[in-house]
């Protein structure tokens, strides 16, 4: 299998809290240095995603179940194809998975299958917020994050305990880059303890490692 680089725009859902400010340094859009092709032998965020995984199974005469059809993530992070060794490192610790853009994309796709993608989107939005130097942009972005992920009226509300939520409400009087730090840590811990073990046992992750191993052995 030929190694191809993947390109994708900035996450659409993340644009709701972040791209409106247009000044966040954490993600690039339309960069001339970005890879200009798509691969879905390994990642679940390209337009050819479900076709590649499905065709791999069809060539081997296997019927693809719903949970192995990797759907397209709209506008995921730009990243390059990880090696098999990198993908295996994701199983060693949640930190290694979350520090890898390709790993975050794959994990985000898994969270979509569990209807909890908002946890990753919120965590990413907080990461961008912490990098924003402009005070007025920080204040506007913090309000957008609050509306998208903290407000009880939002369909993407994340699960936070009363103490953390109360702390955010107080900090929103004068928002800073660190307004959501406690909430971000709580969501990170939730993904680590709850979703990450299931991800490692999921067909999404296992099939990617298997296909990567086959590709390496055939090259």
pLDDT in tens, 156-190: 999 999 999 999 999 999 999 999 999 999 999 99
Q: Is residue 195 part of a domain?
A: yes
Domain of 146? Answer: 84-216
What pLDDT does residue 213 have?
Answer: 84
pLDDT, averaged in runs of 10, over the chain (219 residues): 42 46 41 37 40 39 39 65 92 96 95 97 97 97 98 97 97 97 98 98 94 75
Whole-angstrom distance, CA of residue 100 vs CA of residue 17: 22
What pLDDT does residue 219 have?
Answer: 60
Q: Is residue 199 part of a domain?
A: yes
Closest CA relative to residue 176, chosen from 204, 134, 139: 139
What pLDDT does residue 57 have?
Answer: 42
What pLDDT does residue 80 have?
Answer: 80
What pLDDT does residue 217 have?
Answer: 66
Number of structural domains found in the chain: 1
CATH number at residue 95: 1.10.167.10
Q: Is residue 58 part of a domain?
A: no
Q: Is residue 33 part of a domain?
A: no
What pLDDT does residue 147 have?
Answer: 98
Q: Is residue 3 part of a domain?
A: no
pTM equals: 0.69
What pLDDT does residue 74 have?
Answer: 56
Within the chain, residue ranges assigned H as helices are: 12-15, 49-59, 84-89, 94-98, 101-113, 117-131, 135-145, 162-171, 181-190, 196-200, 203-218
């Amino acid at each position: 299998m030929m190694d191809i680089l993947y390109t994708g725009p900035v996450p659409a859902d993340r644009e709701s809290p972040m791209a409106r400010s247009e000044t966040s340094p954490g993600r690039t859009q339309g960069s001339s240095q970005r890879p200009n092709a798509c691969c879905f032998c390994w990642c679940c965020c390209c337009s050819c995603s479900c076709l590649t995984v499905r065709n791999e199974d069809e060539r081997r005469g296997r019927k693809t179940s719903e949970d192995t059809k990797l759907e397209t993530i709209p506008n995921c992070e730009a990243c390059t194809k990880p090696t098999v060794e990198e993908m295996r490192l994701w199983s060693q610790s949640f930190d290694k998975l979350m520090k890898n853009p390709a790993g975050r994309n794959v994990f985000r796709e898994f969270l979509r299958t569990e209807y909890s993608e908002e946890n990753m989107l919120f965590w990413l939005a907080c990461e961008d917020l912490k990098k924003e130097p402009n005070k007025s942009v920080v204040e506007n972005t913090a309000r957008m994050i609050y509306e998208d992920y903290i407000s009880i009226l939002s369909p993407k509300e994340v699960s936070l305990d009363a103490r953390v939520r109360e702390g955010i409400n107080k900090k929103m009087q004068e928002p800073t880059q660190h307004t959501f730090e406690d909430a971000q840590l709580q969501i990170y811990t939730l993904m680590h303890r709850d979703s990450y073990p299931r991800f490692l046992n999921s067909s999404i992750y296992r099939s990617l490692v298997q296909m990567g191993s086959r590709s390496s052995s055939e090259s």
